[in-house]
Chain A
Amino acid sequence: MIHISHLRLRSITANRIYGADMPFRAGLNVIQAGNTSGKSTSLQAIIYALGLERSLGPQLDVPLPYAMRERIHPRKDDEYELVIESYVEIEIRNAKGQSIIVRRDIVGGKDRKLIQTWAGPGLASGGTRSNPRDFYAIDRGSAQAEDGFYTYLAGFIGWTLPKVPRFDGTESPLYLEAIFPMLFVEQKRGWSTIQGPFPTFLKIQDVARRVMEFLLDLDVGKIRRRRTELRNAISTELVRWTQRRGALEDIAQRVGRLRGIPTAPTAEFAIAPELRLEILRDGEWVAIDEAVRVAKARVTELEETPIEDTEAAVPEMLERLEVVRTDIDRLSAQLEALRSEANLEEQEQRALRARLESLQQDLKRNEDALKLRRLGSDLGHAAGEHVCPTCHQDVSSELLPAVEAVGMGLEENISFVKSQIELYRVGLDSANERVKDCYARFRARDDELREAQSELRSLRQAILQPSKAPSRIVIEEIVRLQAFLERATSFEEAAIIASEELQAIAQVWSRLQEELKATPPDNLTNNDSTKIYALQDAIQRRIQAYGFRSFQPSEIILSLENQRPLALTRDEDGDVVEKEITFEVSASDGIRLKWAYYLSLLQLARNHAGLVVYDEPGQQEIDASSLYAFLKDGARDKSPGRQIIISTSEPLPAVKAAVGEEANVINFDGFILQPLLR
């Protein structure tokens, strides 16, 4: 909870100090003053002091008018004086009864990004302030860092802000700036929509929905959150898996190729991992065990044969020389063929990748087109109804180059593109596999070639040796085989370790998958629906009392998706349909609905901060009687946990009559900011 106990504005010129002080109480507070007297300034100063001005729009530097920034005068016809220094201070209180004073300078003082707080006696009573603390606002990190003001403010209010997904795929806390538009209705843009308007610069996905889920404390948000956490954990495991697998594959590539490790963890691998290393022997992939067995047998065989001297071995060597020469020619040719095969495969891989990319873009566009239908008639006839605005003929395929063709429906098109994406993904995966396989074969052949070349060299040298020297051929073959056996063994050891690690990852992954499956679907729970219907009832009752006329109050319902109001109407065929409210109700009924929505939310939302600020609710030349009904309704709420602050320029006696004795009416004649008596 957050209540404003006191607001203090100061604007200092060379000659005097201008200022205003407003004490606020729980319940209804009304600031009554004429037009352009500084009511909005006062209310915006609250937002400014809390560092939340970006919730009104990202471009606002200081959302305060020139009286707090540049020049000021006590009455309309007096001369202006230049503002040298100015600041705003508010005293806020939370549910635990803690009070702090918050100060932010505007002109001439400390950096505007600095927000200072004190504990201490109330602002009104003055006295020494204690426990000063400085916080940074606006800057990156102010919502997450320890000394960021938003972290502090959220804690003060008693909010634990949920993490929400952003458009760029990252996550952020649900920033206070996103929530405050549901507590503070600013005069210029605030009345344009029922919910919000929410700032877009935070780039939070589905921001209206996230804010409403948080304020109403819906289970669906928590379930989704848990699901996201699980998904994130799963993808972390996937990344670890890919890295570990990649590392093992790198080692494997020096010897042969790796089989049996899926590209992503599987439940089967978690239980019974099975991986094989294969090496190329005479054009065939054989299991490493087999190759090792053959190599060992050959070593034994060679070690048992007595070493001949060179002279005896020469005829055999010459024969062997011929064989090796042919081998080298064959291998070189094969390598060339493999190289061009790999090139081809890579080309296909690239083509598939490009196609996938453009399909994904296409999918996004079709999906956007589907979402755009929400805007309905606002899009115009051509886009909204597919009727030509001029000739009234059907234009559904008008942008297509071949006019005779009939275009798919959007939904059908989206699933068509999705299935294509799926297809191409599979294609790309197998292309990747083939490219890898090509390279593995290439490397194996290359090794063979090098071995043959070195054998050729040693044969030549051997033939030239003195005739009584022992033949080197056998010895060299033994050395080559030993080297291979060593490589194979060290790889097998690495594979055993990696296999254990991979199995552990797969086990964690399986467990997470299991939990994800067990998480209930993203639907509203019964509890959630009860909360939403209660809010809907409260809104319907209120708009009735406020003189809402565009629809029967019972025809205004809340979307179950993000709780925005919808109107139930009948379409041409007489079926009941839900329509967006913005285009269906009169401007003044939109205002009535906004009053009702925010008050009902204050009354019912469990995570509400207990504060609603309406800047000039008398918009759109609304009936005075409606406005008084609203003020009376606001005054009726006596709960100590709720505070409503309203500014109005309606005449004072009428306001007083509407709100009764108990509301706190603060009245100003002329400008709110006045020279203070020394």
Chain B
Amino acid sequence: MNKPLPNTFRQGPDARGRFGQFGGRFVAETLMPLILEVERAYDEAKRDPSFMAEWRRLLTHYVGRPSPLWYAERLTKHLGGAKVYFKRDELNHTGAHKINAVLGQILLAKKMGKTRIIAETGAGQHGVATATACALMDLPCTVFMGATDVERQQPNVFRMKLLGAEVVPVTSGAATLKDAMNEGLRDWVANVHDTYYCIGTVAGPHPYPMMVRDFQSVIGEETREQMMAAEGRLPDILVAAIGGGSNAMGLFYPFLDDASVAMRGVEAAGHGIDTDQHAASLSKGRPGVLHGNRTYLLQDEYGQILEAHSISAGLDYPGIGPEHSWLHELGRVQYVSATDTEALDAFQLCSRLEGIIPALEPAHALAHVMQLAPTLPPETLIVMNMCGRGDKDIFTVAKHLGVSM
């Protein structure tokens, strides 16, 4: 890295919605005016104390924030190294971090006068969160979900329907998250006049990567305060799973300018990053343009997008949020990976040692913690984002363990 590092890692994006070369607004003209409208509305909302107060009220009394910071003592002893904490965002209402940004976005949609909400979902957590917020605020909600994911995430599909949302199975492509996002964008193009697209991760056209990051930053802000209270100092290493990267961005962002805090984003290595069955867009992809932004993508030599694979429906996306691409190129965050098998092992270990059944997404982060912690001295403090609970994944896991339910 010959380029000088910026004074702060927290100034982005620039006026064009770029983090270095990444980000931007690569959408069809039909959407462009609405994207600009979302940007204006968000700029206004974040400066509006009553808007932010309403969001905070919902986080406290509806979501249950702040989420606890849990010292995983038995896991720490088992690993025999660094002290491991979990930021327990799986305790949020709806069972994952997604609700933090959804509530912000749905409040924004209401403020903009939009009367219909659409969303895409992979594992279903973002879909459930969006359906929940729409039920609360009395807005019709349509969730696009890859047909493959509809199959493997039945409990969440049922939840969304109970909450009054329409779930549209998407059969194009590999019928997973990427295709659900295409379908969401298509619906939006056709219904721009009354519809708000509630994006689940720190990707998509500007201002979405910034807006979702800002709302998710509540995770890192709380972690900072809680760690100061528990240990009197900042953590040494933050670890989070990366699909699009919203839970990781939310944990990392408030710490980006703290030089002493190292960060690891854990991508899904699927069957292994040396196979063609993985979702490791930073480790194995290269920069390109998809879904409205320039970022690292899994693609072939001709720029055609490749299908990603992960046991976790929330991680098998061939791209990643543009801010992560930027932090990767600057070297501020280290991006590593964990395989399906490693995640399954972590999933079981965590359940037995801590009495916490993690979602398969944070199980990837935990797999990395299991490798990392034993190599570090006991005074090292690791915080891992337990960004979702595993109820939704028990069928997938049972299948892989050969258990019929």
Chains A and B are bound partners: no
Binding site for B on A (CB under 8 A): none
